Amino acid sequence: MVEIRGASELASFIAGNYSGRIVEVGAGFEGEVARRLKSMGHEVVATEKEDRRLGAVALVQDDVFSPRIELYRGSSLIYSIRPPLEMQLAMGSIALQVGADILIRPLGDEIAEIKGFSRRLVNLGQARFYLFLQNI
């Protein structure tokens, strides 16, 4: 398992601000944040293109472009680490349907404008990410 820079700060931010189901989209081979959240007692659903395990985290098959919406219902946050722009937009569509916030840890400055959300940059220790809150 690969450890990402700022994983501890990112997991702490999520744990301190969200409860209930939390969904990681496109977990890939970096389940560090999901693992940390699970160890703090949070309900985490981590999705990927195929079902498999990533250490202590079970990855559930899903495609954000044709999502199994039941995986996301009841979630307070949908997050992803280094997703491409088109994936970020798909996450926005899902989040609007289920009433969740979005957190994106981008690769460089690749960050989408997601319709229906306002965004803010959060710098926390070694973690830098964008938080998208639904416009009310």
Architecture of domain 7-134: 3-Layer(aba) Sandwich (3.40)
Cβ-based neighbours of 112, under 8 Å, separated by 6 or more: 85, 88, 89, 92, 104
Which H or E run includes 104?
A: strand 101-105
Q: Are 34 and 88 in contact (CB under 8 A)?
A: no
φ, ψ at 97 (rounded to 5°): -65, -40
Reported as a single tens digit per residue, the pLDDT across 16-63 is 999 989 999 988 777 789 889 998 989 999 998 877 777 777 788 999
Reported as a single tens digit per residue, the pLDDT across 101-115 is 999 998 878 888 999
Measure the CA–CA gap between 68 and 60, rounded to whole angstroms. 10
Domain residue ranges in the chain = 7-134
> 133 is written with which tokens?
């809150």
Measure the CA–CA gap between 72 and 2, rounded to whole angstroms. 25
